[in-house]
Structure 1
Amino acid sequence: MAKPETFGAVDTCVDAVLEKVGKRIVLGLPLGIGKANQFANALYARAESDPEISLTIFTALTLERPSAGNELQRRFVQPLLDRLYTDYQDLAYNRARRKGLLPPNVEVCEFFLQPGSFLHSPSVQQSYVSANYTHVPRDLLDRGVNLIAQMVSPSTDGSGDFSLSSNPDLTLPVIELAQERGHRPITLVGEVNPRLPFVGGDARVPAGMFDFVLEGETFQRELFPAPNAPVGLPEYALAFHIAGLIRDGGTLQVGIGALGDAICHVLRLRHGNNADYRDILQSLDVDTERALCKLPLGLGPFQQGLYGASEMVPEGFLHLRRAGVLKRQVYADVTLQKLLNKGAISPIVDEDLLIALHDAGRIQCPLTEADTQFLQAAGIVDPSYSWRGHRFLDQHGELEECDLHSSTGRKKLLGSCAGKPLPGGTWLHGGFYLGSNALYRALREMPEREMAGINMTAIDFINELHKDRALKTAQRQYARFVNSAMMVTLNGAVISDGLENAQVVSGVGGQYNFVAQAHELPGGRSIIALASTRVSGGRIRSNIVWEYPHCTIPRHLRDIVATEYGVADLRGKCDRDVIEAMLCIADSRFQGELLEKARAAGKIEADYTIPEAFANNTPARIDAVFTQGHRLQLLPYYPLGTDLTREEAQLAVGLKALKEEGRKIWDLWPLIRRGRAACKSRAPEYKYVHECLQRMEFEYSDTFEHRLEAYLVAGSLVQFLDINRPLGVVCDPEPVGPDISPGS
């Protein structure tokens, strides 16, 4: 491959791209942190100033710095911007489309939106593309993609290679599919950023793959941090139920967010604090007769461990790795993997391994040349041997029979490989990653030997089975694919990406892929997780509904649904039994209304009643379980840590709850009264309240409006922040000044 043309200035690179590609550009930008932001901005600026350029940008998950919609949000967000995002360059097309100012020669299409950030934004809603993650390469080629611009990481070993790092997910399959189709050449631009972790495996590519490279200090930017959100007790209850479904020796996929953090933390508890894990799970689980889900509960620590196969690599996976949970390795040979699954061999190179491979028909005796190549590539046969017509030529130039029948012959074949761990094992396949600064730092500092077990790769490898089905089936034994939803109907249809008025909240992403894959894999299960209720505008609403005019996953793919109240196994059940199971994991405040609708539709018998064991599905019961003994001490708000300071971490809990409480003054009056009392008090138990108010710069609250806001913040902290729960690892806090008490 020819070396790419390198530029230190982005405008000259844009000139070169326009000269090569022309003025009709279809630009593919990776999702998340992998975008070449500076190149994309320069290209957009050029199109904005030149109407002869036609620019289509096809991407997903456009990240943007937090913004403030009101005064409270501004007070919270601005210091975060100053501390965490000063080095991040927002994408210019995003600012323009938010304001409806995209020029007519520029089109921006996304197949997955930053969740909830573009509701009621007409231009974004109209240009959204609903697509399965794995179909995006096809859609890109159908649109005529002719340019891909991606942030890459440079190697430090002198090879000159680059790493696609966070985003080989679509770049690799787009290039492969383009070659299969005979698609016209796609120009690749790499924006080199040494702060992006260098990840090997399939993400490692030669520099010659790129046509143009941007390199220099200008492009060395900090990555976009996504601070971990606080985890509530309902999410922990969900996590305990889900952790009980994870089978030792199995495969795990979870998504980003508070629920994913909670699941990873509870799996750590299961492994390292097993007695506490069992105690809490058995207290939460009222389905003692296994009426709703007959799968046996996973209670013990992880002996074999788990293997991760997840499109999104969550930060919690690194914590599970450190805890000794994510330790099951998979290998790129079907027979080898099946032998490991059965326990017929161990992942140590020895004579038994050779015998087992021969008995399974994977290799012959005497060895063929192909057998020799396979065994040496797999790290089983000494690399110093050279095959010569049924014989080995050893390092001394002597010919030896390739005989597996004798111990002497096997030992000679193994040579220096004997007794060593089987190389080439992968404990995590991922498509992309996004997280906190701690995640990026951990990947940058990860030892090479440990990093070798991570393979960031094409999304169709992770999300589908149609290629290498036999291998993936062997690797992904007892798979558990955990994805969250906004709502689920009593019939088991899942709503995850949009609302009844066609507003898109996020996107389908890979959820459908994983649900379908779970149905195809022997022993595989899809777990849809959701809180049973939500608070909106001060009102509690059920997330389990009778019907909804839109769904992401149709009911014929229903599998397992979990709420904080339990697990409902819906696979293969008739409608009546599905409805019964869903009623039993709904919040009891809504069970009666839902039951009446099912009765009226004739989908359940008229005299059916909710079993007593499931008739007390209330937040009070969940709270009662977690407040016993020392249990709360095991459940930090930020189990994986956070980029927030102590005060910010506390405020995030209070402000989130305040947002849910509504905006009408009579709804908020109890909080105002409680907050005013806390502001006036000098009692030690309210010290944290004053520290948080100082962080919000309420020390000069000399207007009625500001005092009211201070009281609301203080009230939400007192009402919703449980000071008996640890926060977890937070940033070093800034020095704390004197107590702040807003004036009367």
Structure 2
Amino acid sequence: MSVQDLYKQKLRSAVDALALLRQGDFIVVPTGVGEPPALLTALSEQRRQFRDIKVGQILPVRKFGYFDAETTEHVRHVSYFYGAASRLGGKEGWIDFIPSYFSEMPSLIERGLIPADVVFAMASPMDAYGYFSLSLGADYTMAAVAKARVVVLEVNPHVPFAYGNCHVHISQISALVESSDPLQEVGLPKIGPVQQAIGKYVADMIDDGSTLQIGYGGIPDAVVMQLTAKRDLGIHTEMIGDGILTLIESGAVTNRRKNYLPGKMVATFALGSQKLYRFIDRNPALEMHPVDFTNDPYLASRNDNLVAINATLQIDLLGQCGSESLGPRPYSGTGGQSDFVRAANRSKGGKAFIVVPSTAKDDAISRIVPTLTPGTHMSTSKNDISYVVSEFGVAQLRGKSAKQRAQELIAIAHPKFREELSAEAKKLNLL
């Protein structure tokens, strides 16, 4: 049977595809815009027909109907990383949370530690050889495809066909659903004077020829905006977004000086504009790979001069970063921060930056604190921390004593909190 005949045989409506589900199934969905809206809308509308279905995903971008505290016995969201759609449910306790390093999620799925009965994912149109591309989120989804009993792809002509280890053959598919709506766009965060000041400090420390990992957020993007005059930068990251696209268009990114996968950009998921998605389509300079390849600290560290730029919510005077929660209240998740901090520390000439505004709530609260707020989920440990950057300067903590760390961090805190921080540091015998 030809691949075209197989395609026709497996094509059905989103509602009909739900017939493949069994009560108690765990559905794996890709990161961000890799989520399939027609399938998840149908599941939401039919959710009361099911019992104990779980949907596992990092960073959902749409709040589908199944995000409902009243129907969790039917369909319940399980978060690997909270976003705007899932954060409230996490705080209220009707959304579950599975902590893990992003890089280890495929292994957890392969070992059966994270279930993967079913995969629902967006995909590009099929090529002449019967392959679809999961270009928007190869992440942990490729491991789930290999493990799942049922794989349902939502095929959309706007999904780019990317190169790399992100392809699924028609023979692996249980059902296909077609949709044609434009892909969800996620714009660049707003950048203010604080973000610009932090961005300049970091940008001044990035050399031509460096390879970049850029996290999501206003400050990492503020750094990117100040790198357009750099030369021969490379990209080895988890997320490719419009900030990186700006660097490519400016000529700052060439990937020529990468010593690991020279000439190639690699990422595991895409989050941005229609322009970005068009850029990904059949672009030989870009490959999308599973996250256990892109985020593996050993593999990423094979890039000399690897620069990792990630944000935190709070940091204590030892350098422990609380990047995932506000006290015990969940906000995001571990993601790839720890993966890339460790990778940059291992890299020859590498630099790991944690960026943080000095204050929150209109300068009412210091984000640099004596000790993390009780219940805070720690993301980057005191043993891994390297550069910390606020709008008041740069603290280099790696190799420094506890006393030296306290001194460096107090020096980049907001001036109105420095005296108080010094007094608390003395109480902790850090000064």
TM beyond 0.5? yes
Aligned to 2:115: 144
Q: Does 1:210 align with 2:170?
A: no
- Are 2:370 and 1:546 aligned? yes
Runs of at least 5 residues in structure 1 that lack an aligned partner in the other structure: 65-89, 179-184, 272-300, 332-336, 339-423, 605-744
State yes or no: 1:528 paired with 2:354.
Answer: yes
Counterpart of 1:144 in 2: which secondary structure?
coil
What letter is aligned with 2:174?
Answer: D
Whole-Å Cα distance in 1 between the matches of residues 141 and 387 of structure 2?
Answer: 33
Contact 2:91 2:330 in 1 (8 A): no
In structure 2, the partner of 1:91 is 64
Partner of 2:56: 58
Alignment of 1:188-337 (within 5 A): 188-215=151-178, 219-268=179-228, 271=229, 301-302=230-231, 305-329=232-256, 337=259
Structure 1 CA distance for aligned equivalents of residues 43 and 89 of structure 2: 27
TM-score (norm 1): 0.54
Tell me if structure 2 keeps the 8 A contact 1:488–1:543: yes
What is the alpha-carbon distance in structure 1 between the residues aligned to residue 368 and residue 308 of structure 2? 21
CA contact (8 A) 2:119 2:145 kept: no
Query: 1:58 & 1:103 partners in 2: Cα distance?
Result: 13
Contact 2:305 2:348 in 1 (8 A): yes
Where in structure 2 are the equivalents of 1:126-165 lying within 5 Å?
Answer: 127-140=96-109, 141-155=112-126, 158-165=128-135
2:331 aligns with one of 490, 502, 505: 505
How many Å separate the matches in 1 of 2:263 and 2:10?
34
- Pairing 1:13–2:17 present: yes
Gap change, CA 1:267 and 1:514, over 3 Å in 2: same
The CA distance in 1 between the partners of 2:48 and 2:410, in whole Å, is 54
Q: Does the aligned pair in 2 maintain the 1:201–1:452 contact within 8 Å?
A: no
More helix by share: 1
Distance 1:126 1:204 in 2: 31
What is the SS of the residue equivalent to 1:429?
A: strand
Q: Distance in 2 between matches of 1:117 and 1:201?
A: 30
Q: 1:103 to 1:236 in 2, by over 3 A?
A: closer
Alpha-carbon contact 1:58-1:108 (below 8 Å) kept: yes
Structure 1 residue 101 and structure 2 residue 70: aligned?
Answer: yes
Counterpart selection for 1:168 from 128, 133, 138: 138
Displacement after TM superposition at 1:574 (Å): 0.6
- Separation in structure 1 between the aligned mates of residue 311 and residue 222 of structure 2, nearest angstrom: 13
Name the aligned partner's letter for residue 93 of structure 1.
Y
Distance 1:478 1:122 in 2: 39
Q: Which of the numbers 461, 466, 477 marks the counterpart of 2:293?
A: 461
Cα pair distance change 1:540/1:117, threshold 3 Å: farther
Cα distance change on mapping 1:564 and 1:57 into 2, 3 Å: same
Find the counterpart in structure 2 of residue 684 from structure 1.
none
Helix, strand or coil at the partner of 1:220: coil
- Number of residue pairs the alignment of both structures matches: 422
**Is the 8 Å Cα contact of residues 138 and 174 (structure 1) preserved in structure 2?**
no
Instruction: Confirm or deny: 8 A CA contact 1:165 1:199 kept in the other structure.
Output: yes
Match of 2:27, SS state, is strand
Give the structure 1 partner of residue 405 of structure 2.
Answer: 578
Quick check: 1:154–1:160 contact (8 Å CA) kept in 2? Answer: no
Displacement of 1:116 after TM fit? Answer: 8.8
Calculate the TM-score normalised by the size of structure 2: 0.90
Q: Distance in 2 between matches of 1:171 and 1:483?
A: 24
Mapping 1:176-191, distance limit 5 Å = 178=147, 185-191=148-154
Q: 1:587 aligns with which of 408, 414, 418?
A: 414
Structure 1 partner of 2:39: 39
CA distance 1:455–1:560, shift in 2 (3 Å)? same
- Alpha-carbon RMSD: 2.5
Contact 1:40–1:91, Cα closer than 8 Å, also in 2: yes
Change in Cα spacing, 1:115 to 1:103, as seen in structure 2 (3 Å) is closer
The answer for unaligned runs of 5 or more in structure 2 is none
Corresponding residue number in structure 1 for 2:311:
484
State the shift of 1:139 in Å: 4.0
After superposition, residues 623-638 of structure 1 pair within 5 angstroms as none
Distance 1:490 1:166 in 2: 38
SS across alignment from 1:322: helix
**Shift of the alpha carbon at 1:149?**
0.8
8 Å CA contact 1:57–1:108 kept in 2: the answer is yes
Q: Which amino acid aligns with 2:369?
A: V
Secondary structure of residue in 1 paired with 2:357: coil
State the shift of 1:575 in Å. Answer: 0.6
Structure 1 residues 434-453: aligned runs within 5 Å: 434-443=271-280, 448=282, 451-453=283-285
